[in-house]
Amino acid sequence: MIDQKIQDLFDNAKKIVFLTGAGVSTASGIPDYRSKNGLYTNDKSDKPAEYYLSADCLRDEPKVFYQYEKSNMYYPDAKPNVIHEKQAAFTQKRDAVVVTQNIDSLYRKAGTKHLVEFHGNLYNVYCQKCRKKVDYREYLKSMYHRNCGGILRPDIVLYGEGLNPSAISQSIKAVSEADLIVIVGTSMRVYPFAGLIDYRTNHATVLAVNEEQLSFSFPFTMIKENAVDFFDDLKVNA
């Protein structure tokens, strides 16, 4: 059961922002590639997994990059879970924004109305040569653009690449306007995403929902609970 004081915070908030990461999607069967059981540490090759998600790899070994993405990153059949669904409902019924590090498209599938995909979206694929958008299903069949022979790529932020300026400005706006900031499925340790919290105002309340205790350099309320259970119980009151 959710503490009434916590439910009240959601009910009374004027603007809510959810800052989220891989932990939100693990309940949908998508591995957290930075966690113990994630891709990074299961990688048995001689290069760190970050390499396979880098601009260098895409440029120097596009076939290797493609194989890695295709075999490890795509879960087209994954479905949103209650965390995505409740947050999506907040964006539909209330003044709320989701800013996520996830590239798995599950917030879109859940119908999130106000969404910032900070690191892009795997299912937006385009051709590096002619710049046309291509259906991701075509990409999963071939790394080459059927029309022009160019090499396709997902529209995600690779290591060594800059963020989308529009994603940065939308995220900063959402955080700076929020009076309730809810951190879910992320330990907020990876920059630049982690730096978003610095744009909060001093009247904003910060909640973190996580099974294990998190520690931050700013004041916050820790809800030490599985996020699936928490969002299952949380009511989205209009």
**Footprint on this chain of Zn ion (rule: CB under 5 A):** 127, 129-130, 145, 148, 150
Residue 20 to residue 84: CA distance in whole angstroms:
10
Nearer to Zn ion, 34 or 129 (CB): 129
Instruction: Say which of 84, 114, 119, 203 is annotated catalytic.
Output: 119
Residue 31 to residue 26: CA distance in whole angstroms:
6
127 is in an annotated binding site: yes
HSE-CB at 19 with a 13 A cutoff on CA atoms is 30
3 state SS of 183: strand
Task: Tell me the closest approach of the beta carbon of residue 150 to Zn ion, in angstroms.
Answer: 4
Q: Is 119 a catalytic residue?
A: yes
148 is in an annotated binding site: yes
3 state SS of 117: strand
57 is in an annotated binding site: no
Nearer to Zn ion, 79 or 141 (CB): 141
158: how many CB neighbours lie within 10 A of its CB? Answer: 19
Nearer to Zn ion, 118 or 139 (CB): 139
In contact, 24 and 187? CB cutoff 8 Å: no
Binding positions: 127, 130, 145, 148
Binding positions for Zn(2+): 127, 130, 145, 148
Active-site residue set: 119
